[in-house]
């Protein structure tokens, strides 16, 4: 059983986005974070100070741990931003403004 089977989901057609240039599949309606989890990715940011990896923590837009660069806009909360066909997602280093 997986979550999609549990609720008998019939999602719309999957589409492709990229994470650091690598193609991954996403489903309509998912957040960027959900698409990354589905692709087996759980961290996509390194912190400003110690450069430690971070991903989803609160999942509802409160903690700002899941910040990511989407279509060249840094510091987007991956748990809130809906994933869209053709999105270019990039892991974010530090403030996101250096690269």
Partner 1 sequence: MTDRPHLAVIGAGPAGLAASLAAAARGIRVTLIDAGAMAGGQFYRGPAPGLGARRPQALHHQWRTGDRLARGLAGHVTAGTIEHLTDHHVWCVERQSDGFAVHALLGPEQERPVTVGVDAVLLATGGYEKVLPFPGWTLPGVVTAGGAQAMLKGSLVVPGRTAVVAGTGPLLLPVATGLAAAGVDVAALVESADPKALLRGTGDAKAFLERARALAAQPGKVAEGAQYAAQLVRHRVKVMARHTVVEAHGEERLDAVTVAALDGDGRVRPGTERRIPCDTLAVGHGMLPHTDLAESLGCRVDGLDVHVDEEQRTDVPGVWAAGETTGIGGSALSLAEGHIAGRSVAARLTGAEPDPREWAAVAKSRTRMREFFAALDTVYVPPAHWTEQVTDDTVVCRCEEVTGGEIRRAVGELGAGDVRTVKLLTRAGMGWCQGRMCEPAVAGLAGCAQTSARRLLARPVPLGVLARAEEDLAGAEEDLAGAVEDPDEPGGPGASEDD
Q: Which of residues 38-67 bind partner 1 (CB under 8 A)?
A: 38, 42-43, 47-50, 52-65, 67
Contact call for residue 37 and partner 1 (CB under 8 A):
yes
Q: How far is CA 45 from the centre of its chain?
A: 10
Q: What is the number of other CB atoms lying within 10 angstroms of the CB of residue 89?
A: 26
CB-nearer residue toward partner 1: 5 or 23:
5
Tokens of 37: 């989890």
CB-nearer residue toward partner 1: 7 or 23:
7
Residue 33 CB, nearest distance to partner 1 (Å)? 7
Contacts of 36 (CB under 8 A, 6+ apart): 19, 24, 42, 44, 55, 78, 89
For partner 1, the binding residues (CB under 8 A) are 1-12, 27-31, 33-34, 37-38, 42-43, 47-50, 52-65, 67, 73, 76-77, 79-82
């Amino acid at each position: 059983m997986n979550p999609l089977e549990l609720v008998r989901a019939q999602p719309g057609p999957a589409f492709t986005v990229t994470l650091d240039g690598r193609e991954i599949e996403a489903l309509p309606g998912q957040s960027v974070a959900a698409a990354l989890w589905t692709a087996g990715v759980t961290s996509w940011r390194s912190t400003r100070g110690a450069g430690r990896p971070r991903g989803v923590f609160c999942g509802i837009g409160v903690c700002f741990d899941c910040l990511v660069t989407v279509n060249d806009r840094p510091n987007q909360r991956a748990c809130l931003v809906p994933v869209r066909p053709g999105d270019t997602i990039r892991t974010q280093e530090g403030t996101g403004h250096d690269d």
